[in-house]
Amino acid sequence: MFYNLGAMTDQESSISTQQAGLRTAVAFGAPVAGAIAVSILAGGLGSDQSALAVLFAGLGLVSWFIGLRWYGLHGLGLRGQRALYAGIGFAALGWVAFLLLRFYFVTNIGYGPAGSGRSFIFLLLFEAFAVQIWTFGLLFRALADWRGGLTAAVGSGIVFGATAYLLFQESFTGSLVSFVYFVVWGILYGVIRLRTGSLIGIFVIQAMQSFTAWVVMVPQSPPQSNELQSLYLAASTAYLILIWRLWPKAAEDYRI
């Protein structure tokens, strides 16, 4: 069964299975409810950058406070040193692969528009950090306590991918291929989080990847659908190869 993937090792939590399941439900639902509430109080839900920033900020803040109360900084994956460098190294492989494929498949009309610094801050703090502190911080850890490390990596990756598909500004098309790409991207980051124990590297690289591929390299507006489909298929294949290479082979590979 799916829930048996990746039984907990020496990091196994002392809380009961029932309590772990309840925590998982709270870890998923409370940040979403908090983000919607903050957005409504701030003036309503919307699809522009300011409205999305408020939504992501609410998501990240609720996840931050719950995660600190339950797990602390270390348990949320905010770890430096070797864990940070390993996460950067693994995520950078996906970044380089995507950037090369993006250059090949999608037509460029220019480089580096005005206001790109503001765009990077948005990508780093809101699309990357706020979403990842929820998915690969709070939710990952709750799932790991409940159903094990691999389930946490895959489950949090799917939630990340669905969120990216629905809300990220680089989600240009509502196709099945696009959805699969974002989910595979999320699972890659989930596996990196599991292997390294840190999310700092992956949220930094996520922002760099989005910034270089869609802000520094300016596509047609909107990008052509056939170009995006080819890019997403090729990138998903590259990510799957990385997932296969990073997939943990033994309990010693887990860094919950």
Q: What is the pLDDT of residues 156-185, one digit of tens each?
A: 999 999 999 999 999 998 899 999 999 999
Q: Please tell me whether residue 191 adopts helix, strand or coil conformation.
A: helix
Query: pLDDT of 179-234, one tens digit each?
Result: 999 999 999 999 999 999 999 999 999 999 999 999 999 888 888 899 999 999 99
Mean pLDDT across 239-247: 97
- The pLDDT of residue 114: 59
Q: Give φ, ψ of 206 to 5 degrees.
A: -60, -45
Q: Please tell me whether residue 219 adopts helix, strand or coil conformation.
A: strand
Q: Does the pLDDT value for residue 48 go beyond 60?
A: yes
State how far the Cα of 83 lies from the Cα of 123, in Å rounded to an integer: 22
Mean pLDDT of the chain: 90
- The pLDDT of residue 14: 56
State how far the Cα of 205 lies from the Cα of 97, in Å rounded to an integer: 13
Tokens 């460029």 correspond to 108
Range with the largest mean pLDDT of 12-21, 38-47, 194-203: 194-203
Q: How far does Cα 200 stand from its chain's mean position? A: 11
- The pLDDT of residue 11: 42
Q: Give first-to-last CA distance, the chain, whole Å.
A: 21
